[in-house]
Amino acid sequence: IMSIFEGNSIKISPSAVLNPKVRIISTDDSFVDIGEACIIEELSIITDSVIGANCVIEVGGTILESIIGESCVIGIKCSIKNSKIGSGSFISPTVQLDGVEIPDHSSVYLYQGNWACKPIDMSHLKPQLDKYYERLTDPTSPQYLPQTHSDVVTIN
């Protein structure tokens, strides 16, 4: 049930929500920075990356040496390596990206056996994401996840 932090250069906004079983790793010459009001779901691994404010990394997401812009949703079991994802983007579940740059306000999805990218306006999702964040941070909610980080194991 514990989350694991490895390394000395990890910055997580106090308003970020980390579900159990998250692993955050900063190697010797790099760092991890997780922005305000982010939601990092269980079994996600973030290594040497920057996650902008108001992002959701869904269950089992792997982010390695990448930059994720603000207000992005990274789908279930996505793998993003050595890439830059523009703000306001949606990456569909199971997408695997390596060494790419995705423009702001893009949707990446599977189309006829290939990954495709098209412009998207995610402003309609903001109210839903705000409600999700509220449920996770409201002590009266059954989905409440206290963020005392007492369940975190730090390995230096």
pTM (global) more than 0.75: yes
Alpha-carbon gap, residue 70 to 19, rounded angstroms:
19
Phi-psi category of residue 138: left, alpha or beta, with phi > 0 → left and psi -120 to 50 → alpha: beta
Q: Select the more confidently predicted residue: 8 or 2.
A: 8
pLDDT, tens digit, for every residue of 48-83? 999 999 999 999 999 999 999 999 999 999 999 999
Residue 105: how many CA atoms within 13 Å on its side-chain side?
A: 6
On whether the CB atoms of residues 26 and 43 are closer than 8 A, the answer is no
143: amino acid identity, one letter: Q
H or E element in which residue 24 lies: strand 23-25
Instruction: Tell me what the mean pLDDT of segment 7-24 comes to.
Output: 90
pLDDT, tens digit, for every residue of 98-153? 999 999 999 998 888 888 889 988 777 778 878 888 888 888 877 776 665 544 55
Check residue 26 and give its pLDDT: 94
Check residue 35 and give its pLDDT: 94
Check residue 1 and give its pLDDT: 54
* Residue in the block written with tokens 């999700």: 132
**What strands lie across the sheet with 23-25, from one edge to the other?**
96-98, 79-81, 62-64, 45-47, 23-25, 3-6, 152-155
